[in-house]
């Protein structure tokens, strides 16, 4: 092996190990019960915006005595002990607020949750999503107030409904028919048309759900004290994104996923005036790394992993992370909501929460992350 390449690889490896050692020390295992104390209200609210489609919306079953429900996982399998107190009641975080809003494109915003974070958010008939574990980990890791804003709806693709502003049209040839299609850029309609023909618009446009979801999140922020009592200031600390199911049914969207995801990261930061906000995404739980049996899923998985590759995107080092969900899934697939298994949603949520904490922890971990990026960029230039 080339000496310079060997040195670069050693720097990269040591940087990763240094970061991991510091980051892992921040979070105990298991996570302790919340202490019941309010956050330090002298600090601005740390806002995290959760976006995606139905699995981000949350489909984990809470109530039940069979394996797969949250009650069974906590009370029988003794998992996620921080969710219950000594008396067996669901714990409530007094330092993390959870707001869930939703609309379809340009429709009016509906408010579903606005309260302190707790299992089922006070409704035992409700489902859980990744926000439950995410909120507990962020609440533990910081003494500042935390507000989770979940703004999403099911059956939405990144290549069409959630296409971010700035995304251009592109052409794709169907290998089975040879037909060349033009796919919509942001604001275009319909989703595609045969190249060389005049598109006939429909009532939906590319990116209309992105616009609706971001608009709803901004509505919450414009009324901050309504969603975090006593708060007067906030910072957009990060974004969480769990999506990809709908894109896997369109080979062109799957092949474009990486470019669209990069644009999403950059556009969200621009739209919320938060250039330093962190970004964490999770992969589809059924998709196995290296599996070529479903090429659309493979392209999406590769794209999601690529954005956190320091050699490919050194500008994202220390501010973007990807959670590989397959080892965390308890079975099923994204289109079946993982059979509603609450453990899948808790496992993925814990991993996403930890990933975000790893990004927001202070020095010296951030120095290690910078070293990772520099090493990756150095290796890229040496090739």
Residue 162, Cβ neighbours under 10 Å: how many? 29
Are residues 46 and 145 in contact, defined by beta-carbon separation less than 8 angstroms? yes
361: tokens are 């922890």
Phi, psi torsion values for 278, nearest 5 degrees:
-80, 160
CA–CA distance from 122 to each of 40, 71, 203, 360 (Å)? Answer: 24, 14, 37, 29
Specify the pLDDT at position 16.
43
Specify the pLDDT at position 59.
96
Q: What angle do CA 142, 224, 59 make, to 5 degrees?
A: 70
Specify the pLDDT at position 122.
53
Read off the DSSP letter of residue 249.
G
317: tokens are 């080092």
Residue 253, Cβ neighbours under 10 Å: how many? 25
Cα separation, 320 vs 277, whole angstroms: 9
Q: What angle do CA 174, 303, 348 make, to 5 degrees?
A: 125
Specify the pLDDT at position 121.
57
Cα separation, 345 vs 334, whole angstroms: 11
Residue 193, Cβ neighbours under 10 Å: how many? 18
Read off the DSSP letter of residue 65.
S
Provide, rounded to the nearest whole percent, the portion of the chain with pLDDT above 70.
Answer: 86
Q: Considering only CA atoms, which of 28, 84, 261 is closest in space to residue 76?
A: 84
Strand partners, 9: none
Specify the pLDDT at position 126.
80
Are residues 352 and 150 in contact, defined by beta-carbon separation less than 8 angstroms? no
Specify the pLDDT at position 18.
42
Q: Which residues of the chain have pLDDT under 70?
A: 1-25, 120-125, 362-383
Residue with tokens 């999601």: 304
Cα separation, 97 vs 100, whole angstroms: 10
Specify the pLDDT at position 355.
97
Q: What angle do CA 231, 237, 242 make, to 5 degrees?
A: 120
Specify the pLDDT at position 381.
47
Query: Domains of the chain, with CATH numbers?
Result: 3-165+206-382 (3.40.50.1110), 168-203 (no CATH)
Q: What sign does the dihedral 191-192-193-199 (CA atoms) show?
A: positive
What strands lie across the sheet with 180-183, from one edge to the other? 170-173, 180-183, 192-194
């Amino acid at each position: 092996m080339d000496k310079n390449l060997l040195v670069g690889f050693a720097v990269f490896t040591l940087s990763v190990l240094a970061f991991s050692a510091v980051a892992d020390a921040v979070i105990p295992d298991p996570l302790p019960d919340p202490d019941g104390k309010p956050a330090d209200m002298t600090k601005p609210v740390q806002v995290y915006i959760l976006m995606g489609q139905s699995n981000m919306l949350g489909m984990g079953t809470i109530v039940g005595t069979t394996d797969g429900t949250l009650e069974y996982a906590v009370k029988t399998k003794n998992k996620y002990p921080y969710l219950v107190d000594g008396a067996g009641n669901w714990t409530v975080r007094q330092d993390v607020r959870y707001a869930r809003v939703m609309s379809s494109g340009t429709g009016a915003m509906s408010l579903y949750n606005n309260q302190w974070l707790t299992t089922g958010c006070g409704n035992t008939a409700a489902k859980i999503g990744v926000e439950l574990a995410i909120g507990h980990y962020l609440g533990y890791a910081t003494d500042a107030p935390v507000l989770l804003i979940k703004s999403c709806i099911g059956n939405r693709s990144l290549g069409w409904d959630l296409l971010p502003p700035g995304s251009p049209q592109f052409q794709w040839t169907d290998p089975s028919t040879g037909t060349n299609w033009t796919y919509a850029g942001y604001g275009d309609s319909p989703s595609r048309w045969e190249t060389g023909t005049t598109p006939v618009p429909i009532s939906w446009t590319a990116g209309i759900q992105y616009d609706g979801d971001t608009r709803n999140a901004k509505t919450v922020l414009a009324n901050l004290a309504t969603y975090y009592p006593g708060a007067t200031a906030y910072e957009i600390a990060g974004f969480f994104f769990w999506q990809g199911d709908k894109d896997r049914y369109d080979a062109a969207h799957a092949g474009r996923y990486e470019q669209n995801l990069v644009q999403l990261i950059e556009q969200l930061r621009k739209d919320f005036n938060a250039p330093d906000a962190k970004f964490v995404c999770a992969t589809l739980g059924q998709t196995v790394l290296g599996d070529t049996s479903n090429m659309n899923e493979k392209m999406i998985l590769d794209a999601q992993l690529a954005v956190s590759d320091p050699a490919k995107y050194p500008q994202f080092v220390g501010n973007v992370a990807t959670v590989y969900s397959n080892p965390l899934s308890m079975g099923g697939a994204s289109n079946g909501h993982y059979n509603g298994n609450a453990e899948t949603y808790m496992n993925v949520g814990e991993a996403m929460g930890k990933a975000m904490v790893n990004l927001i922890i202070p020095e010296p971990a951030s120095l290690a992350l910078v070293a990772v990026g520099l090493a990756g960029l150095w290796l890229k230039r040496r090739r």
